[in-house]
C-alpha cells in the first residue's frame, strides 16, 4: 500500500541569545530565545535518505547569532522579520519560514534616582513574544506577551451563573481577582514601532484590569481587549488568555474567628481558563 508525507517541517529550537550594545559608557541589552522552522522541498530526506537539500539545524543556530551581530535588534518582531527574510532569500527550496521568539525584559537599576548605565534587573516571569511567518508572497507578524501576573483585592465578583445538582460554588460580589495574562495581537503595518506598541498595549491591559468593575473574568477580558483596539489603530485583533487563579477564603469559625475577606489560600490547580479573540470590525 503506497504511503505519502502529508506535511513535514524541521528547524532549530531554544536558541538563546544575549546581545549587548555599547555606546560609550551606556550599554543596552537584549536577551531572547528563538525557534526557526523551515517548510519546503525536504521530502527526500525522509523518504530516500537524501540530505542534499537539508540545511543543518546547526546552521540555523549559527545564522541567528550572525544576523544578531550584523543587524540592530531593536525589537524581537523586526529581528524575526530579518531572520525570515534571510532564509527565504537564501534557499530557493524553502517555501515558508516560521520564527518564534521570546524575550526576557531587563530594566535598568536605579541608583540615587538615576538609571545605571550598565546594571539591570530582571522583570520577573513576564516575557515578550513574537511570531513571524513568511512565504514567498507575504509575511505575517504577531506580537505579544505572557507571564504578566496581576491581582486586585476587590472590584470583582461572580454571580448569576448556571447552577445544577453538582454546583457548590457560592455567588460572590467581592472576591480576589488574580490571573497571569497572555496576549497576542496582529498589526496591519509590519513596520510599526513594535516596542512602543507593546508598551501601549501592556499599559492599557493593566489600566483596565485595575479599574474595571468585573462581573467575571470574561467580562473584564472583553473590556481589556476592546480598550486596546479602541486606542491602538494599528492592531487588527487581540487574543487574551486569562486563567482564573483562585484565592479561597479560609473558614476560621472552628477557632472562633471571623474572616471578613482577609485570610485566603492561594491555589495553583485546578484553575479556570478564559480565552477570547476580539477583532476590529471591518468598516462598511
Identify the CATH number of the domain defined by range 8-137: 3.10.270.10
Measure CA 217 to chain center: 19
Task: Kindly write down the DSSP assignment for every residue of 73-128, as one continuous string.
Answer: -S-HHHHHHHHHHHHHHH-TTEEEEEEEEEEE-EEEEEETTEEEEEEEEE-TT-EE
CB-CB contact of 245 with 220 (8 Å): no
CA distance 184 to 194: 13
pLDDT of residue 283: 53
The confidence score (pLDDT) of residue 284 equals 40
Q: Which of 19, 27, 33, 57 is catalytic?
A: 57
Non-local (6+) Cβ contacts of 80 within 8 A are: 34, 99, 100, 101, 130, 131, 132, 141
Q: Same fold for the domain at 8-137 and the one at 147-284? A: yes
Nearest to 238 by CA among 229, 250, 248, 247: 229
12 labelled catalytic? yes
- Domain range list for the chain: 8-137, 147-284
Question: Of 61, 204, 212, 246, which is the active-site residue?
Answer: 246
Q: What is the pLDDT of residue 1?
A: 53
Statement: 147-284 belongs to CATH 3.40.50.150: no
pLDDT at 267: 94
Query: pTM of the prediction?
Result: 0.92
Q: Is residue 57 flagged as an active site residue? A: yes
From the list 12, 61, 86, 204, the catalytic residue is 12
Helix or strand run (H / E) with residue 154:
none
Q: Grid coordinates representing 125? A: 516571569
Tens digits of pLDDT across the chain (284 residues): 578 898 999 999 999 999 999 999 999 999 999 999 999 999 999 999 999 999 999 999 999 999 999 999 999 999 999 999 999 999 999 999 999 999 999 999 999 999 999 999 997 899 999 999 999 999 999 999 999 999 999 999 999 999 999 999 999 999 999 999 999 999 888 789 999 999 999 999 999 999 999 999 999 999 999 999 999 999 999 999 999 999 999 999 999 999 999 999 999 899 999 999 999 987 54
Amino acid at each position: 500500500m503506497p504511503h505519502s508525507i502529508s506535511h513535514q517541517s524541521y528547524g532549530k529550537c531554544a536558541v538563546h541569545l544575549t546581545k549587548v550594545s555599547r555606546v560609550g559608557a551606556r550599554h543596552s541589552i537584549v536577551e531572547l530565545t528563538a525557534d526557526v522552522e523551515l517548510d519546503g522541498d525536504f521530502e527526500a530526506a525522509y523518504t530516500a535518505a537524501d540530505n542534499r537539500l537539508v540545511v543543518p539545524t546547526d546552521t540555523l543556530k549559527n545564522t541567528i547569532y550572525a544576523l544578531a551581530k550584523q543587524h540592530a535588534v531593536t525589537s524581537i518582531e523586526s529581528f524575526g522579520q530579518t531572520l525570515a527574510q534571510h532564509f527565504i532569500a537564501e534557499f530557493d527550496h524553502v517555501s515558508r519560514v516560521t520564527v518564534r521568539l521570546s524575550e526576557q525584559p531587563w530594566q535598568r537599576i536605579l541608583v540615587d534616582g538615576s538609571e545605571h548605565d550598565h546594571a539591570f534587573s530582571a522583570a520577573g516571569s513576564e516575557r515578550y513574544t513574537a511570531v513571524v511567518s513568511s512565504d514567498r508572497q507575504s509575511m505575517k507578524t504577531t506580537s505579544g506577551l505572557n507571564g504578566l501576573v496581576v491581582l486586585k483585592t476587590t472590584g470583582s465578583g461572580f454571580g448569576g451563573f448556571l447552577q445544577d445538582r453538582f454546583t457548590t460554588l457560592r455567588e460572590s460580589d467581592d472576591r480576589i481577582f488574580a490571573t497571569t495574562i497572555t496576549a497576542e495581537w496582529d498589526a496591519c503595518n509590519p513596520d510599526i514601532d513594535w516596542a512602543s506598541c507593546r508598551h501601549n498595549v501592556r499599559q492599557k491591559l493593566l489600566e483596565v484590569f485595575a479599574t474595571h468593575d468585573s462581573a467575571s473574568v470574561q467580562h473584564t477580558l472583553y473590556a481589556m481587549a476592546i480598550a486596546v483596539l479602541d486606542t491602538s489603530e494599528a492592531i487588527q485583533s487581540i487574543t487574551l488568555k486569562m486563567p482564573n487563579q483562585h484565592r479561597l477564603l479560609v473558614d476560621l469559625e472552628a477557632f472562633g474567628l471571623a474572616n471578613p475577606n482577609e485570610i485566603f489560600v492561594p491555589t495553583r490547580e485546578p484553575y479556570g481558563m478564559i480565552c477570547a479573540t476580539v477583532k476590529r470590525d471591518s468598516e462598511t
